[in-house]
């Protein structure tokens, strides 16, 4: 379901703020790269993923630098056939937000698209996960970095590898090697679908 224009999490950011953030990309001493995984298996999945990327791009202190190809994948952690398939993608972002603020923004974007958290690994309109934040390693239960199950998930590794073939997952090594070990079972490229980085 498309959010209404009055939703504060997806309204356009004023041009003056955008200009300030663009300047921060080059003038601040601490912009960090982060990898975000996006997934949706309810509603108009592609429209939701595009809306999430656009909303992230409207975030002061954050720039979406690259968006992966789209994959269709079987739901993870549930019995086969009990949920619709997911569309998944990965976005590479550069941000001056600390990890906690980036997590808050990810949750706000999920809520704008009516994400409901009723059961673990339940079907959802939108999922936005922080996979990595620079080379930060943290076992904080609120935000564990890198994502504790990313190395087990081809639906994260495959699109991430597409958009950054030399990527490294802290503590686990090259994404290419992790993906080779896992294989591509239940992960299908959707060349007919495309996500656009924010303009």
Q: What is the pLDDT of residue 5?
A: 44
Nearest to 171 by CA among 198, 197, 147: 147
How many C-beta atoms surround the C-beta of residue 198 within 10 A? 16
Annotated active-site residue in 58, 129, 153, 162: 129
Q: Is 127 a catalytic residue?
A: yes
- Reported as a pLDDT band with limits 50, 70 and 90, residue 2 is very low
Between 64 and 11, the more confident residue is: 64
Instruction: Quote the percentage of the chain above a pLDDT of 70.
Output: 79
Q: Is the pLDDT of residue 29 over 70?
A: no
pLDDT in tens, 142-178: 999 999 999 999 999 999 999 999 999 999 999 999 9
Tell me if residue 140 is catalytic.
no
What average pLDDT does range 21-39 have in this prediction? Answer: 75
Q: What is the 3-state secondary structure (H, E, C) of 26-57?
A: HHCCCCEEEEEEEEECCCCHHHHHHHHHHHHH
Residue of 32, 115, 186, 190 marked active site: 115
> Which of 45, 54, 105, 127 is flagged as catalytic?
127
Question: Does pLDDT of 80 surpass 90?
Answer: no
Q: Which one from 45, 124, 153, 162 is the annotated catalytic residue?
A: 124
The yes-or-no answer on residue 45 being catalytic is no
Q: What percent of the chain has pLDDT over 90?
A: 69
**Residues ≥6 apart with Cβ < 8 Å to 127:** 37, 38, 39, 40, 110, 115
Half-sphere exposure of 199 (CA within 13 A, CB side): 1
> Annotated catalytic, 124?
yes
Does residue 180 surpass a pLDDT of 80? Answer: yes
Q: What is the pLDDT of residue 76?
A: 72
């Amino acid at each position: 379901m498309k959010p209404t224009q009055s939703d504060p999490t997806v309204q356009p950011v004023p041009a003056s703020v955008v200009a300030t953030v663009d300047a921060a990309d080059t003038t601040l001493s601490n912009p960090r790269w982060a990898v975000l995984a996006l997934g949706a298996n309810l509603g108009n999945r592609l429209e939701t993923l595009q809306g999430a990327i656009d909303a992230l791009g409207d975030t002061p202190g954050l720039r979406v630098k690259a968006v992966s190809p789209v994959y269709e994948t079987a739901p993870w952690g549930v019995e086969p056939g009990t949920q619709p398939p997911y569309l998944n993608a990965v976005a590479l972002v550069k941000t001056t937000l600390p990890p906690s603020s980036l997590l808050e923004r990810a949750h706000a974007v999920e809520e704008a698209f009516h994400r409901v958290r009723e059961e673990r690994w339940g079907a959802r309109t939108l999922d936005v996960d922080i996979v990595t934040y620079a080379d930060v390693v943290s076992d904080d239960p609120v935000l564990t970095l890198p994502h504790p199950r990313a190395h087990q998930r081809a639906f994260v590794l495959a699109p991430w590898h597409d958009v950054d073939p030399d990527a490294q997952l802290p503590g686990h090594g090259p994404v290419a090697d992790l993906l080779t070990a896992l294989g591509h079972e239940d992960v299908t490229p959707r060349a007919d679908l495309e996500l656009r980085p924010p303009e």
